[in-house]
Every structure is written in structure tokens, then in C-alpha cells.
């Protein structure tokens, strides 16, 4: 990935933190609320932000947002079980996928293949950890593989879709910036 300045990384970090604060508290999409951007945020943090402590800061923000939403915001605490800790490897998977892609990024159209792989595998791992963890450790289910597979097939497309809802515009913006940069470099 093109090296970003400290100022650019700070700006992106604040934008991602703001996006999490404004979309995570609702947990479900309605006509009045955007879908939760957390999955895309962790991927983008891995992609654009170099300091590893950013992952811990975003994990802390996610937990704090959930605590506030369930304690004072009227959001159900149904998901606040022993399985909640599985969000650490879930979100870490997305962050690592973004980190991996950062090392494979090229300002070329051929970068779409590794980007697609990173997004697909990152969201797949995230879903396995988050849904699998909830299914196994929440205490709400009698685990069996057929039921988990059915639940996975039911929920994964929506989570992938909401992640792509945020990542697609970022990818298009990155492409536009790259094209403008190339055009200005050729003009010199």
C-alpha cells in the first residue's frame, strides 16, 4: 500500500472511530440507520493504519459502544454472553486480512483479485469466529453442525453485504485517487 503520512493515518483513524460510534450502536439496519460498519472498519484499519495498537483501540471502542448501547441505549443485551470474547479473533481476522492486502496492493486493476480474496477470507473467518463462538458459547443452543451450517448460510450473506456496502466506495475512491495521481504524474 502506498505509505500514508502520519497526518493521513490520524485522519483515517478518527474517521473510522467516528463511523463505528455512529453505526455500531444500532446493530441492525432500518430506514433510519446505516448498517453496522464494524467489519469494514477493522479491515480498513488493517489496510491503512500502521500502528498495531489501533486494533486494540478499536476493539475497546467496540466494547464500550456495546456497553453503552445495552446499558443506556435500549439495545438488547442478548449477545452479551461468554461468547462475546470471540469478537477478538473475529475482528482480528479482518484486521489481519486488511494488513495482508496492504502488502499485496498495487495501483493496478489486477489488485482486485487479492482484494477480493482478502475481503472474502477475512469476512469468512470473522463470521466463523463470531457466529461460531456465539453458537457454541452463548448457552442458547444445543450445538450441532447441521443447525450451525443453516444459521451460517442465513446470516453470512447479510454480514458480507454490509461489509461490501462500506468497502466498495472506499475501493472506488482509492482507484480514483490513484488514477488522478497517475494523471498528474504524467502531466509533469
Other Cβ atoms less than 10 A from the Cβ of 188: the count is 4
Which residue range(s) make up the domain with 159?
6-187
Q: What is the value of pTM for the model shown?
A: 0.92
pLDDT, tens only, 87-106? 999 999 999 999 999 999 98
Tell whether 1 is covered by a domain.
no
pLDDT, tens only, 148-179? 999 999 999 999 999 999 999 999 998 888 88
Tell whether 32 is covered by a domain.
yes
CB 51 within 8 A of CB 19: no
Burial state string for 127-160 with b = 16 or more CB within 10 A and e = fewer than 16: bbbbbbbbbebbeeeeeeeeebeeebeeebeebb
Tell whether 80 is covered by a domain.
yes
pLDDT, tens only, 28-76? 445 467 889 999 999 999 999 999 999 999 999 999 999 998 998 888 8
Tell whether 143 is covered by a domain.
yes
The total number of residues written for the chain in this structure = 188
DSSP-derived secondary structure for 101-164: HHHH--SSGGGHHHHHHHHHHHHHHHHHHHHHHHHHHSSS----HHHHHHHHHHHHHHHHHHHH
* Residue 187 confidence (pLDDT): 53
* Residue 180 confidence (pLDDT): 84
pLDDT of residue 82 exceeding 90: yes
Question: Averaged over 102-120, what is the pLDDT?
Answer: 92
pLDDT of residue 118 exceeding 80: yes
Cα(50)–Cα(46) distance, integer angstroms: 7
Q: Count of domains in the chain?
A: 1
Amino acid at each position: 500500500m502506498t505509505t500514508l503520512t502520519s497526518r493521513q493515518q490520524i485522519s483515517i483513524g478518527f474517521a473510522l472511530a467516528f463511523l463505528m460510534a455512529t453505526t455500531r450502536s444500532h446493530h441492525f439496519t432500518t430506514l433510519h440507520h446505516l448498517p453496522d460498519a464494524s467489519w469494514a472498519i477493522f479491515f480498513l484499519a488493517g489496510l491503512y493504519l500502521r500502528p498495531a495498537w489501533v486494533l486494540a483501540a478499536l476493539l475497546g471502542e467496540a466494547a464500550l459502544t456495546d456497553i453503552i448501547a445495552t446499558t443506556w441505549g435500549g439495545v438488547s443485551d442478548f449477545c452479551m454472553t461468554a461468547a462475546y470474547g470471540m469478537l477478538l479473533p473475529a475482528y482480528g481476522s479482518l484486521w489481519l486480512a486488511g494488513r495482508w492486502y496492504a502488502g499485496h496492493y498495487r495501483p493496478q486493476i489486477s489488485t482486485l483479485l487479492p482484494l477480493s480474496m482478502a475481503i472474502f477470507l477475512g469476512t469468512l473467518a470473522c463470521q466463523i469466529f463470531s457466529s461460531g463462538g456465539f453458537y457454541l458459547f452463548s448457552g442458547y443452543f444445543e450445538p450441532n453442525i447441521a443447525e450451525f451450517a443453516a444459521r451460517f448460510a442465513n446470516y453470512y450473506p447479510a454480514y458480507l453485504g454490509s461489509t461490501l456496502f462500506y468497502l466498495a466506495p472506499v475501493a472506488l475512491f482509492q482507484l480514483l485517487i490513484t488514477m488522478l495521481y497517475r494523471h498528474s504524474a504524467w502531466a509533469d
